Every structure is written in structure tokens, then in C-alpha cells.
Amino acid sequence: MNVYETDEEKAEAIKAWWKENGLSVAAGIALGLGAVFGWRAWMSYQDRIAQQASAAFEQLIATAQSGEVEQVQAQADQIDREFPNTTYAALAAWVRGRAEVDAQRLPEAQAALRLALDRAPDPSLKRLTALRLARLLIAEQAWEEAAAVLERYEDDGPFRPEFDALRGDLVAASGQIQQARAAYQRAIEGGAIQANLLQEKRDDLPPSS
Amino acid sequence: MLQTIRERAQGWIAWAIVILISIPFALWGIQSYLGVGSEPVVAQVNGVEITQRALDQRYQETRMRLRERLGSAYRPELFDEQTMRAQVLEQMIEETLILQVAQDLGLRASDQELRLAILLNPAFQKEGRFDKATYQRMLALQGTSEAQYEDSLRRRILGTQLQRAIEASAFVTESELAEAVRLEKQQRQVQLIRLPKAQFLSDTPIPDAEIQAYYEAHADRFRSPERVKLQYLLLNAETMDLAKPPAEEELRQRYEAEKDRFRKPEQRQARHILIALDPKSDAQTEAQAKAKIEAVRERLVGGEDFAEVAKEVSEDPGSAPQGGDLGWFGRGLMDPAFEQAAFQLKKGEISAPVRSPFGYHLIQVTGIQPETVQPFEQVKDKLRGEIAKEQGEGRFFDWAERLANLAYEHPDSLEPAAEALGLQIQESDWLDRQGGEGILANPKVLAAAFSAEVLEEGLNSELIEPEPGALQAIVLRVVAHEPARAKPLETVRDTIIDQLRDQAARTAAKAEADALLEKLKKGEPIEGYAVQDLGTIGRDAFQVPEAVRKLAFSLPRPKDDQPSLGSTSLENGDGAVVRVKQVIDGKLADLKAPERDALKRRLVRALGQGYYDRFLEDLKARADIERKPLETASDF
């Protein structure tokens, strides 16, 4: 480190340093400020997009309650087109799936739930969607596809009894009565949602031997 | 000197100082990161804290809401504080978590939704429409600002959006619906062989040792309850001799003293003509107005119709259109000068000009209702009721206070109180905790009778008013106490024998049923048993004993015409063998549209709520949730 004899010398040194580095310092500050403001603008843009998606989704729920399938389709499609990278795309696909089921169009409903599965950004959402999709596949007797969906998404968490219940349906359909009874039993003991119905299902199975 | 500082400033001292100064700055606010010294925290959800204070507040709100909802049925002792706190905390954890998840998933409550929620809230509406002033007033009442309220509303919308999404997208497929109907409406063709318990009852003697063992094993069944005998002093209308009605003389005195209550003062109806005049106007204007009103008076005296003239010239915009009519009024309503004139006039007479702050009036009285006083006879009954009530209440509270004091001052006896108040000491029969009759069945009275003070220390109870407002009070003491104790074996011997025989018969009946079942399963012939055909029964066939119904519907579905068989024990102890011959499934097509829709709605709702619960549990399982052991807050 240099030691300067007088103030003048020091001032000279500073000026020289500024001449050399001034531009990069200014550029650095500008860049920093730009990053901060840019980030904030980006955030507020994101927020605006999310709000728009939210409003569109709330409207979709309202439409779904009035039961106009075509309108539900149109609105759900629009949400998926305009906000494909938001969670709302998945939620909208759910709602559309329900409308399709109510209109007795299971293949379309399946497509909607597959889309929801694809769009859902969160494992819990995915598991819930998978359960719904598997139920649709079981309703269409697409046993293997249903098994594949269960296989892929089941885990030992709180959704376990629901997966067990669907497993029961699958093995019962293939005539494996004992396994079916065991699966229903596991589901009931795990506190599945429709435990009462599952009990009835279990008791309705023919003798296993 | 400055030079020295400058030189030194390059050296180590300067560095030391700079470092020392920077330490506090570096640590400033660090406790908010470490959680040191901040508020006590009861739980953390992915690092977000729930403070003790927030929990306390929420707990109080919950309790308050519960109290409002339950009204008089609310009993604080019904709600265990610890349990309720834990529940409230769990709810807060869930709310915090779902909010975080919603944020992380990029969900937002839109301004539009927020506006709608506010506009449609009936609490903020006036005459069916949103009213900004009402909105602000309601918020002020709750002590929140608009920004705070909107923020919390936004969170509420956001926090429920996932739930609404899950519930709105819940569905039941046609095949699931059919399956539910198939099972729920299923009917089974059932046969029953009943083995009555009575057949297995024996009267062989039972060894004493067995009876003794049973007596000891079920000691709690053979106990007489704890009992007390009470002495008590009862204060009520009868014991205080309040039935006696107040004398006529007393009523008359009261009537005279309070005559004003029954007086209806004089009322007059009048009309007027006003020539308006500023009270501060000068003499000239005053004289002009005076002249004007005199002229009007001339016209009236000359026979012109008052009402017509009033309409024409009166400068009182309120009354002129009605011909100057002011309606009925009593004293104390009008301007004093006006009133004085109006109450002195005869009916129909036209007053001289009257000066009031408003100007000059001409007044005509059109109706007089003289003062009336309701006669004594008319109000006698009312007075009698009032006096009786006052005296009753006054006397009751006076006596109750004296009774409470006397019973407290002489805690070992009711005699002094009874003597001083001229009450009769009453004595109860034996009472257990179920209580006796009348006031002795009251829970407050029983609680006092079995309280430690009264029962164990033998003191008088406090004054108890079982029903607030009923003018009834009681003080009691225990004069005899019989603790709960085992009934001697001899007195319950027969009961025990009956129970043992009953038990044996039940077991035997069931064993017989099991044996029969085995035979039937092996296909061996059975004889001498009555087979009862129950026909085809549904799950709701309440005419069939519950145990039979349950068994019939839990037996496997018959395969290859091979009936399903099972055995059970009925509630009354009979043994039973059940045979299911055939299962008839419920058919969706048999359901009427409304029934079908109702079932579908029920299933959809159950699935929607169920999936949301699971979803929440799943989120919780994945989250990092830390619960601190709960302690009771110190502030209550």
C-alpha cells in the first residue's frame, strides 16, 4: 500500500483511479439496480398472471356448478392455453374431468385427468389425481392401465388406504378373492374414505376357497 | 494532535475500533433469525412460527364462538381446555401449511374474487346492497383496518381455494354409483335356526365357591350407592308467606303517591297564522308586521274562514297548507309565549297577536282534551301485582341475605337461622347422587350436598339459588351419610345365581349353534330344529334381530348354489344359525331420479371431503412440523 505524502497527491491518485475504473463501477451499480427492479417487475408480473389465472379458475368452478359441459370445456381449455405453467392448469383439468364424467364421457375425462397429472406440480396433487384417474380406468375396465397408474403413484402416506381400496377392486376383478379381501381389509383398517361401502364390498365377495 | 490521530488511524488501534463497532451492527436483529428472546412459539410449520399469543387469541375466539352458538347449553366444564387447545393448534397448523402450499404452488386470490367476497357479504349490505359506510363501520367494530381485513380475507380465499377445487372436481362414475346401489340395496334370502336360551337354563345348584368368586370378580356391580340425608331451609313464596295480598289501604296509598303515573295531561288542538319576523329586527319592521297581523285578525273577526286565511297569508310553511293546523299537543312542546296563549284561549276564540321568536301568531284553539286521571278502580290490580312483586323480591333478597349470613355464622346447625327467620327445618329421605324430588333433584343442590365442605366437614352449605330469578333459595346440611359400600353377599346371592345361570345358558346356546353349524357345513342331516324362513331382507330390515342381520350380510356371497352359513349369539342370549341362500343385488335402474341424485350427491360430497382430508394429511406428512408441548397460558 502506497503512502501519500500530501492531500493533493491523494486527490490525484483518486482521480486517476476513477478515470481507470469509473465506467465499470457505474456499470456495476446500474446492473445491480437493474437486477433489483427487474426482479421486482418480474415478480409483480408473475403475481398478475397468477391472479388472472385464479380469477379464471374461480369462474370455471362457478360454471361447473351450473352444469354446462361445453362451457366448462371451453373455459378449462382456455386456462390450459393461457396459463399452462400454473397449478391452475391442473386444477382446471380436474374440474373439466368431473364435467366429462357427469356427461358420461369417460375417455375425455381420462384425457383431462392425464393432463392434470402432467400439469400438477406437487406430489400430493399428483397422488390425488392418480387416484381419480385410476378410478376412471377401473370404471372402463382398463385393468392394466389402472394397475400401472397405481403402481407409479402409490406410497405409504395418508393416501395409502385409498390405493388399497382400488387395489382391492383390481384383484377382485381378476378373481383373486383372497387378495381382494385382504386389500379391502387393509383399506378399512387404514380408515379409507368410504369404509362402510368397502366393508360391504368385502362381505359381498364369494368364499375364497 | 489531528496529525497523530491520522497516523495512528492507519494502525492496529483503528482496526480494533472498527471491529468492535461492527460487532453490534453485525448481530443487530440476529435474534429474529435465531428465535432468541422473541415470543414463545408453540409450533413451527416449515419454519413458520405459530406463537403462543396467536394460539391464545384463537383459542379464546373459538371458545367465545362456542359459547355464542350453544347459548345457555354452554358449560365450560364440558370442554377440556387441553384438548381444545390442541385441536385449535392443529387447525392453525393446517391453515398455516395449506397457505404455504398454496403460495408455493403459485396460487393467488385475485382482486376480483376479493371484491366479490366483500360485495356479497350480507354483513356489509344495507337494503340488500353493498354499503361502503356499513363496511367501514363493521370493520371499525372489529377493530381492524380495511387493509388488514382485506389481507385476511385474501388469505382465507387463498387458503380454501385448493379445498374448493378438490370438492368441485370430485366425481362418481356411473359404475361406482351402480356398485354402491348394488351393495347398499342388496337383499339376501335368509333362513334362521334359533336356539332359545331358555332351553339351556338349568337349575342345578351352583357351588358357593363359584358364587363367591363371581361376587368378588364383579364387586363393582354389587355396591349400594353413597347416600346422604339432608336437613334444609327453603326460601320460597310459600315458606316466606308471600301469598298474602297487599291490603286495599296499601294500594290506595300507593295510588295517591304515584298518581302522576296515571295522569294524562291536558291536550289541545290549535291552528295558527304566522307573520314571520326576525327576533332581532328593528322597530319599524316590527311595527309593519304588527300592522299586518292586526289586519289579518280583522279579517278573521270579520268572519272569514281561518283555514282559508291561513293558507293565504301564513308564513309558517309547515302548517299553512293544512290551514294552519298544528295538531294535538301538550304543555312543554311549544314556545312558552305561544303555549301560554294557546292554553288560555277558549275553544274557537281567536287570540290577540302573540309575539314569539318566530314572529307574530294568531292562534285559534280547535279542540280541548282536558286532563284525565285513571281512577283507582281501574289500576288497582296493576298496583297489587307491582306491590306483591316488589315486596316479594325485596323480602326474598333480604331474607336470602340473612339466611346466608346466619347459616355461615353458625355453620354447625340450621337452628339459629330457622329460629331467626321463622322457617321450618325440613328433612329429606335418603338421597344418592341421582337426587330426590323437586328441588332435591336439582344438580346444583346435589353438588352442594356431596361437596367436600358439606359432606366431609359437616358444615352448612352456602345459600344455593337453583334457578336464577325463581325466587327460591336453599341452605342445606348433611345429617346422615352412608358411603358407597359392597352389598353383603347374602343379599345379592340370588342375583348372582341368576346371572351365572344366564351366562352358562348363553354359552351353551352359542356352543349348540356352533355345533349345528359344523354339522350343516359337513352336510350332515339335522333334525328337530325349527328352520325359520326370514325371506329376502335388506340391510335396513329392522324386524330381524340385529345380530342376525349383521351376520347375514357379512357372510360371503353364496357360490355355486352353496349357501353361506354362520352362527352367532343374539342379544337376548339365544343361539342362532344363519343360512344365506341367495343374494339379490340392488339395481341402479330401480332407483327413482330423486333418490339416485341424492345418493350421487352424498357420494360425491363424501369423496370430495375425504380426498381433501387425505390431501391435507399428505401435505402434513411431507412438511416439517414441529410441535412444542402445550402449556396453559398464564393469563386466565
The tens digit of pLDDT for each residue in B149-198 reads 999 899 989 999 999 999 999 999 999 999 999 999 999 999 999 998 88
pLDDT of residue B636: 41
User: Are residues A101 and A163 part of one domain?
Assistant: no
pLDDT of residue B83: 85
Of the residues B614, B616, B617, the best mutation for testing chain A's interface (the one with the most A CB atoms within 10 Å of its CB) is B614
Q: Chain A closest CA to B69's CA: distance in Å?
A: 29
Question: Across-strand partners of B482?
Answer: B227
Q: Answer whether residue A134 is part of any domain.
A: no
**CB burial string B541-569: b at 16+ within 10 A, e below:** beebbebbbbbbbbbbbbeeeebbbbbbb
pLDDT tens profile A174-208 = 989 999 999 999 999 999 998 999 999 998 888 87
pLDDT tens profile A80-136 = 999 988 899 999 999 999 999 999 999 999 999 999 998 888 999 999 999 999 999
Does the structure show a pLDDT above 80 at B443? yes
Q: What is the DSSP string of B535-590?
A: EEEETT-TTS-HHHHHHHHHSPPPBTTB-EEEEEE-TTS-EEEEEEEEEE---GGG
Cell numbers 373459538: residue: B62
Taking CA atoms, what residue in B is nearest to A178?
B556
CA atoms within 13 A on the CB side of B555: 26
**Of the partner residues B110, B556, B619, the one whose CB lies closest to the CB of residue A124:** B619
Contacting residues of B for A194, CB less than 8 Å apart: 603, 606-607, 610
Q: Chain B closest CA to A170's CA: distance in Å?
A: 14
pLDDT tens profile A37-88 = 999 999 899 889 899 999 999 999 999 988 788 899 999 999 999 998 889 9
CA atoms within 13 A on the CB side of B15: 3
Q: What is the mean pLDDT of residues B573-596?
A: 91
pLDDT tens profile B206-217 = 888 888 888 888
Residue type, A67: G
Q: How many domains does chain A have?
A: 2
Across the interface, whether the CB atoms of A139 and B174 are under 8 A apart is answered: yes
Q: How many domains does chain B have?
A: 5
Residue B4: pLDDT band by 50, 70, 90 thresholds?
low
Average pLDDT, chain B: 85
CA dist A99 and A94 (Å) reads 9
Does the structure show a pLDDT above 80 at B414? yes
Contacting residues of B for A122, CB less than 8 Å apart: 101, 104-105
Helix axes A69-82, A87-102, angle to 10 degrees: 160
Residue A158: pLDDT band by 50, 70, 90 thresholds?
very high
pLDDT of residue B624: 92
Q: Answer whether residue B612 is part of any domain.
A: no
Of the residues A200, A201, A205, the best mutation for testing chain B's interface (the one with the most B CB atoms within 10 Å of its CB) is A200
pLDDT of residue A143: 93
Q: Chain A closest CA to B2's CA: distance in Å?
A: 14
Does the structure show a pLDDT above 70 at B236? yes
Q: What is the mean pLDDT of residues B88-99?
A: 93
Across the interface, whether the CB atoms of B603 and A95 are under 8 A apart is answered: no
**Of the partner residues A65, A122, A197, the one whose CB lies closest to the CB of residue B105:** A122
Any B CB within 8 A of A22 CB: no
**Which value, to the nearest 10 degrees, does the dihedral of the CA atoms of residues A156, A159, A162, A166 take?**
-60
Residue B635: pLDDT band by 50, 70, 90 thresholds?
very low
Q: Answer whether residue A206 is part of any domain.
A: yes
Residue A197: give the domain boundaries. 143-209
pLDDT of residue B448: 86
User: Are residues B494 and B450 part of one domain?
Assistant: no
pLDDT tens profile B367-390 = 888 888 888 888 888 888 888 777
Contacting residues of B for A94, CB less than 8 Å apart: 165-166, 169
Beta strands across the sheet bearing B625-627: B48-51, B41-45, B625-627
User: Are residues A112 and A169 part of one domain?
Assistant: no
Provide the ipTM.
0.86
**Of the partner residues B112, B165, B619, the one whose CB lies closest to the CB of residue A94:** B165
Q: What is the mean pLDDT of residues B586-591?
A: 90
User: Are residues B304 and B288 part of one domain?
Assistant: yes
pLDDT of residue B434: 83
Cβ(A150)–Cβ(A130) below 8 Å: yes
Does the structure show a pLDDT above 60 at B588? yes
- The domain spanning residue B477 has which CATH number? 3.10.50
Least confident of B115-119, B394-398, B552-556, B588-592: B394-398
Cβ(B381)–Cβ(B362) below 8 Å: no
Q: Tally C-beta pairs within 8 A across A and B.
A: 140
Question: Across-strand partners of B306?
Answer: none
Residue B309: give the domain boundaries. 266-370
Provide the chain A residues 140-179 that lie in CB contact (below 8 A) with chain B.
157-159, 162
Q: Answer whether residue B199 is part of any domain.
A: yes
Q: Answer whether residue A27 is part of any domain.
A: no
Q: Answer whether residue A176 is part of any domain.
A: yes
Any B CB within 8 A of A103 CB: no
Does the structure show a pLDDT above 80 at B244? no
User: Are residues B231 and B217 part of one domain?
Assistant: no
Q: How far is CA A170 from the centre of its chain?
A: 26
Q: Answer whether residue B55 is part of any domain.
A: yes
- The domain spanning residue B71 has which CATH number? 1.10.4030.10
Helix axes A195-204, A160-173, angle to 10 degrees: 20
Any B CB within 8 A of A126 CB: no
Contacting residues of B for A57, CB less than 8 Å apart: 161, 165
pLDDT of residue B99: 93
B322-to-A160, B310, B333, B504 alpha-carbon distances in Å? 85, 8, 19, 101
H/E/C letters for each residue in B160-208? Answer: HHHHHHHHHCCCCCHHHHHHHHHHHCCEEEEEEEEECHHHHCCCCCCCH
**Which value, to the nearest 10 degrees, does the dihedral of the CA atoms of residues A156, A159, A165, A168 take?**
-30
